[in-house]
Structure 1
Amino acid sequence: MKHIKKITITLLVVLLLTACGTKNADNKGEANNDGKDLPVLRVAMMPFITSLPTEYIIENGLDVKNGFKIESTMFSTGAPMNEAVAADLWDVGAMGAAAVTGVANYDMMIIGEVLESLDGLGIFTKPAHPAAKVKGLNPSFPNVYGDKESVKGSTILLPIGTAQHFTTLKWLEKIGLKQEDVNIVNMETVQAYQALKADQADMAALNVPTFFDAVNDDMVQLGNLADLGTRYVDMIVANPKAVEGKQELIQKYVNLVMEANAEINKDKEKAADLMMEFLKKNGVEQSRESVVGDLERANFIEKDAWKDRDLGLFAKELGEFYIAQGQIDASLTEKFETSIDSQFVK
């Protein structure tokens, strides 16, 4: 009996170790359920809707079905993601405005686009501010509020060098002002909005989800990128080493992103369910109402869109903005031509 027990225990241990080993190998992309070797694509992600298509791919096992395995790494924002590509820590990912500094400083490639925002970036003020009472000064942009008299000398809070900064300068341009005509103070988005509510500034440039807080609080939106004739684009970016060495895997990934985008566009409520789980898994608290609003403002780029769409137009426009602001050396202008590679979307 003791001998039988020893054999039983030994078999149990072997089975447990075998099961654990199979699971770990599968998670790393070294093997799938059939024991076949799978090549790995290292994907950088962030806990925003920018990475929702990748989450869809992972959750539905589309990578494995297409003969490769995604190994994901989560980043809080685009800045550390840029630094990580310089250290060759990921192959492909998605980001917004930070892609411009990634191209300029780290030779990152722009190989596709995930979504364009129809809303979600804007400059807000309180209803009592004089600028909130002037609308349609520029007939080409009838939804824009403010004029020279009501805005000149105002203090505007925003994180400098970001999409909010870009939006603010676009807005000032439309009402006939320049950056030097106002007082721009560098401040992170959440703190900027709290300061606006506490009457410590005239205006604040906000993005999602704080953008929706301002809308719900009946703040007046003086202008957003959609009203200003520009749509904000989140881009698919790549490590140049991966573009050279993992072309086939990257092509499969880009194809799957566009496939996931079509599913997200088709059912935003179902996409909101996935987004809520994605945020929860990554320790981010956000209301479902905010998530649904975030999804509704975005158009995820599908395959058919590339018949008439040119890659990198927003990146070039944003690059020009950074150069004008002195944050990128003018000598790097050429990179916004050479670092845009449309082979994977065309």
Structure 2
Amino acid sequence: MVYKSQSVIKLPLAALALSLTLLISACGSGSGSTNANAPQTPTPTAKTEEKVQTINFAYMPNMGGAAPIAIGEEKGFFKEAGIKMNAVKFLSGPPEFQAMAAGEIDIAYIGPGATFLSAQGQGNIIGIVSLGKSDMVFATKKSGIKEFKDLKGKTVGVPKGTSGEMVLNLGIEKAGLKLSDVNIVNMDVAGAVTAYVAGKVDAVAIWSPYTSEIEKQIGKENMVKLGDNSSFFPEYSFPSSWVVNPKFLKEKPELVDKFMKAMAKTTEYKISHSDEAVKLTAAYTQVPEDSLKQELESIDWIDSKKLATVFKDGTAKQWFDNLQKLFVANGKMDSIVPSEKFMTTDPAIKAVNP
């Protein structure tokens, strides 16, 4: 994976020499003597540039993952924090963790479905972006499926290791079926969308904005919604998070603090300026504005103060503990790990109460 390198502004030697010559000439003109008490012109420095540090950041092209980048860049929140964000697009969480393990990504946005990889020690959760219900399971009209129980013997396309798979598994369990009763096919996001639209699968487990794109292509009347995250509230909440590479956190904790301070500003801005946030995110991701607006309907943002509160009072721990029960049930984890072991809460709390 190739990243854009940060350029450092350097003054050409010829220009520097000319500047010094002019300065000496100016000081020596007039009486022909120098004045030791005269104000000296300071030599230009690159202090601002020296302070800027790069973060390789993994985002997804949706309101949760991309809006903070679009807003932070446009409003200068990252620049104020002394950060240069090298943003790299991903479509799901597991590949982001692979990139972190390779040292290519420092901090990433993940949906709830990839949280099990944090629990396995591959990344520390440092912030919660939102609680959502944008993960949905849709059947095709021609399949004859009307409820989760009708999935028995049917083929479902889903990117495994994602929140879409979690909702699918919960629906199958709630219907009294076993996972082996359903032909679950692992597909990447683009493949799942294409297969559903082409009628090559009976159902798909996917999330916004891809659900909106499917609707545009085949029409809402040809989609049969079986359920979404909210079908399993309040027992299960589905937090999307910021997760940091453990090595990066250990080596550059002060940079993680700067990141969370900048993100606190982007969070407050996107919540109070939702229309502008949609426009900026659409321009940044090339995802249509109407798709992003529709996504907002399924998002419960976690503002900075609420984040600090749920980190301190144990609510966040409960959210992640419950998610782990699902991961154990579907075989992604052998046992539940105390959530505080993979949550690093100080940077978010300090961002609100420095």
TM-score w.r.t. length of structure 2: 0.72
Report if aligned partners of 1:232, 1:314 keep a CA contact under 8 Å in 2. Answer: yes
Q: Quote the residue 2:154 is aligned against.
A: 154
1:343 matched to 2:322? The reply is: no
Q: Quote the residue 1:139 is aligned against.
A: none
Given the alignment, which residue of 236, 241, 251 partners 2:242?
236
Structure 2: gaps spanning 5 or more residues: 1-11, 20-43, 350-354
Report if aligned partners of 1:45, 1:51 keep a CA contact under 8 Å in 2. Answer: no
1:93 matched to 2:108? The reply is: yes
User: For the residues of structure 2 that align with 1:33 and 1:261, how far apart are their CA atoms?
Assistant: 30
Q: Deviations over 1:149-207 (max 9, x none)?
A: x3332222212232211110111222222212222122234433443344433222122
1:74 matched to 2:80? The reply is: no
1:21-40 to 2 correspondences below 5 Å? 35=48, 37-40=50-53
User: For the residues of structure 1 that align with 2:148 and 2:69, how far apart are their CA atoms?
Assistant: 43
AA aligned opposite 1:186: N
Secondary structure of 1:311's aligned partner: helix
Q: Quote the residue 1:255 is aligned against.
A: 261
Report if aligned partners of 2:60, 2:109 keep a CA contact under 8 Å in 1. Answer: no
Considering only CA atoms, is the larger Rg found in Structure 1 or Structure 2? 2
Alignment root-mean-square deviation, CA? 3.2
Report if aligned partners of 1:53, 1:257 keep a CA contact under 8 Å in 2. Answer: yes
Report if aligned partners of 2:72, 2:78 keep a CA contact under 8 Å in 1. Answer: yes
Cα deviation for residue 308 of structure 1 reads: 4.4
1:60-71 to 2 correspondences below 5 Å? 60-66=75-81, 68-71=82-85
Secondary structure of 2:232's aligned partner: coil
Report if aligned partners of 2:114, 2:161 keep a CA contact under 8 Å in 1. Answer: no
Cα deviation for residue 341 of structure 1 reads: 1.7
For the structure 1 residues 102 and 33, does the alpha-carbon distance in structure 2 shift closer, same or farther, using more than 3 Å as the test?
farther
User: For the residues of structure 2 that align with 1:195 and 1:35, how far apart are their CA atoms?
Assistant: 50
Q: Quote the residue 1:124 is aligned against.
A: 138
Q: Quote the residue 1:44 is aligned against.
A: 57
Secondary structure of 2:212's aligned partner: helix
For the structure 1 residues 197 and 325, does the alpha-carbon distance in structure 2 shift closer, same or farther, using more than 3 Å as the test?
same
Secondary structure of 1:153's aligned partner: coil
Q: Deviations over 1:293-341 (max 9, x none)?
A: 223432332122135423354444444434433344x26x437441112
Report if aligned partners of 1:265, 1:300 keep a CA contact under 8 Å in 2. Answer: yes
For the structure 1 residues 74 and 200, does the alpha-carbon distance in structure 2 shift closer, same or farther, using more than 3 Å as the test?
closer
AA aligned opposite 2:242: I
Structure 1: gaps spanning 5 or more residues: 1-10, 19-30, 133-145, 281-285
AA aligned opposite 1:93: A
User: For the residues of structure 2 that align with 1:87 and 1:61, how far apart are their CA atoms?
Assistant: 29
Q: Give the fraction of aligned pairs with identical amino acids, expressed as a percent.
A: 22
TM-score w.r.t. length of structure 1: 0.74
1:14 matched to 2:27? The reply is: no
Q: Quote the residue 1:325 is aligned against.
A: 330
